[in-house]
Structure 1
């Protein structure tokens, strides 16, 4: 199928590329079908792109690449929704708030995107009782300008 995207224009995807979010995303409950698209060739950043709304694409990254100590437990309810059988099936992403200049970009560690790549199901978790915030500086040294 052909979709329009926020950052890459028109793309052809397959049904196997589509990730279903049964509950949508917080603030976007009606959006239930997305695709993960590499943002650039090096693979550090991805786009969580709605297949129905071209303007709805979230820049995200693997939080462990920037925050090696990042840790949370996947609660039973999320495991059930995602139909997780093995930890190897799970991918975790953080949505970024992209800033100009880019070195001021922040990551939302309080609400990770969790995807079961085997079942093609996704969910955005809202972590409570943690010190994680919605805006963690992605790059250690941000020059004041």
Structure 2
């Protein structure tokens, strides 16, 4: 399948690459299929909509930047994503990229949780108020603190 991306790339993807968001993403409830495209040579990826080339988000593995980041998935989300093993889970956070790069932020309050075996995904809004929607990537000491 040919995919046209927001960044003017034309790439070939397999049906097996498509992540299914049963409920869409908050604010984009009708967008149910995305692919996660690693950005070569960086810790970043692009979460690209399959049906809307203009809809894409920069993401990253939060544990690379926030060593103390931790949350528990509620049982209803585990069932929705058919999660059986912790090793089946990939977590990404949506980024707001800034110039300079050091000012870029990550949304720790609403991680994207992916069952890599089933290709099921959901953006989970955490009830824990220690995380915010904008944590600076390079200021890891502020995670969990008010500010």
Q: TM-score, normalised by structure 1?
A: 0.93
- Coordinate RMSD, CA, aligned: 1.2
Deviation larger for 110-119 or 4-13: 4-13
Q: Quote how far apart the aligned CAs of 1:130 are.
A: 2.6
Q: Who is 1:50 aligned against? A: 49
* TM-superposed deviation, 1:116: 0.2
Matched, 1:36 2:43: no
After superposition, the C-alpha distances for 1:16-74 in whole angstroms (9 at most, x for unaligned) are 000000000000000000000012x2240000000000011100000000001000001
Consecutive unaligned residues in structure 1, runs of 5 or more: none
Map 1:1-145 → 2, pairs under 5 A = 1-7=1-7, 9-39=9-39, 41-140=40-139
**Which 4+ residue blocks in structure 1 deviate beyond 4 angstroms?**
none
CA deviation string 1:83-114 (max 9, x = no partner)? 00100000001100001111100000000000
For 1:114 and 1:43, locate their aligned partners in 2 and report how far apart those are by CA, in whole Å: 20
Task: Tell me how far 1:7 sits from its aligned partner.
Answer: 2.3
Unaligned residue ranges in structure 2 (runs of 5+): 141-147
Aligned length: 140
SS of alignment partner, residue 42 of structure 1:
coil
TM-score by length of 2: 0.92
Question: How many angstroms apart in 1 are the aligned matches of 2:105 and 2:65?
Answer: 11
Aligned-residue offset at 1:9 = 1.2
Q: In 2, Cα distance between the equivalents of 1:99 and 1:11? A: 26
